[in-house]
A and B are shown apart, each in its own frame.
Chain A
Amino acid sequence: MKRLLAIVIAVLVFSPIAVAAPDHAHEGESAALSEPLGEATPAPNEAVVRVSGVVCSFCSQGLQKKLSKLPFVDRSKYKKGIHVSIEDQLVTIALKPDLALDLALVYDKMRSGGYEPSKAWVANAEGDIAIFDASGAPCGSDCS
């Protein structure tokens, strides 16, 4: 019993060291809404938000659940207005053209969904793109 307990503890102690995750962002193939190196190009009347840690779709349903209820989300597109790409950690939100996006509310819903938004790209009806940082403040294309 003692020997096995010691082995079990040893396994647990050593394993997390072995599994420490590198902090790199995934730089895989671009999805339809994104480009390599993490820049997104939303279509007109859409917002794309980079959300750290969205790698499990079963776990990220909370994002869709929380975001799809927002009044400015166009639920006729995607799945109730939301598309989650776990390959790129990007969440696309279809927007109603006649209602203003409340990005602070989007960020708040994402946090209550269990994740942290890190950057957002918002395209207006003309396709002009504005970029926002993790706090929701406007920033240039080089913002983190």
Chain B
Amino acid sequence: MRLRLFVIGICIWSPVSALAHQPVMDMAPRWQDGYGFQIRHEYYGSASLRSRGDRIANPLGRERFVHKTWLEGVYTFDRAKRITFKLPYIDQMRVKDIGGAGVRQDESGLGDLIIGVPLKRYRNKGANTSNWGITPSIRLPTGKSGGDFPISDGSVDLGLSVSYSAEGYPIPGLPRFKLYQLYDLYYWHNRKGARGMNEGDEVGLDVNIGIHPFHDDQSNTGVFLMWDVSVRAIEAPNAATLTTASGGERIHTGPIIVVYKNNIMFRAEYKFPVYQKTYGVSNARGDEFSVGIGVAF
């Protein structure tokens, strides 16, 4: 019921929250032969144990915490055709129930490389710009899949996302009120990998809606304030899977701040769970933090 109300709330809120902006890997660089890089660190984890939608007792102290530092890059052939890469360095720990005892496991190393080909169709009209995008992606098993707590399941996975973003002035009476929005619906088909591991397919929706309250033309400096809603549904991994994958449904939401100066952009996000349902007994995802800095040339 809470999930239903929340999604209905998003639908109601969207009509008055038109037009958006995106970070370095999406709207910029939109110029021919442009390129950019971004380093982003994300952190999530929890010592809360859940069974389906309920929090349950955790006598063994089961927990899971993950740090991921992403190196991301983009090259723009022209504004309609780009290629991107994302490569994470992962540092993860968990306490797992093994034979009735809580056993701590740690692992770190490079994760799986994701290559995407965003294809976009832009529409520029007056004081508004918007684009539809479709992005086929492939995830290559560059992370190690050995050991008791592998970084990768060793599979080649295929993804597809459909996105819409826009930015501009939707309300004639409020010429300084510039709005920004992004919708991205994606699907990952996770195939069976090393040692029979299969993390399960994933579908997700990201919604960013915000305003652009400050910009200075002279110094080319400005700020975006946004709100993020992330919806995820992930199939339960099979019994052979030893990675951090855990199936379930969840909705996280929280604020985003973006600060830019010339060709450099800084972005910070905090998201908290408003709905979590695990398939079986698993640690909750917990709060999510993300900070990143990107540059476009």
Contact = CB atoms under 8 A, between A and B. Distances in A.
Contacts of A97: none
Contact of A26 (B127, B183, B222, B249): B127
Interface stretch (B40-48, B110-118, B163-171): B163-171
Contact of A4 (B27, B79, B169, B249): B249
Contact of B10 (A11, A54, A79): A11
A85 interface: yes
A2 B140 CA distance: 27
Contact of B168 (A7, A27, A55, A83): A55
Interface residues on A, range: 35 or more
Interface in A85-114: 85-87, 89, 112-114
B124 A87 contact: no
A89 B166 CA distance: 16
B74 interface: no
Nearest to B28: A59
B233 A26 contact: no
Interface string B221-246: 01000000001010100000000000
A27 to B, nearest CB: 6
Contacts of B100: none
A143 B21 CA distance: 31
B21 A56 contact: yes
A62 interface: yes
Which 3 pairs show the lowest CB-CB distances between chains A and B?
Answer: A62-B31, A53-B124, A26-B127
Interface of B: 3-4, 7, 10-11, 14-15, 17-19, 21, 27-32, 34, 78-79, 122-130, 162, 164, 166-170, 172, 175-176, 178, 181, 183, 185, 203-205, 207, 212, 215, 217, 220, 222, 231, 233, 235, 249, 260, 262-263, 265, 296-297
11 contacts: A5-B233, A7-B4, A12-B185, A15-B14, A26-B127, A28-B175, A55-B127, A56-B21, A58-B265, A62-B34, A63-B31
Interface of A: 1, 4-5, 7-12, 14-16, 18-29, 31, 51-59, 61-63, 65-66, 79, 83-87, 89, 112-116
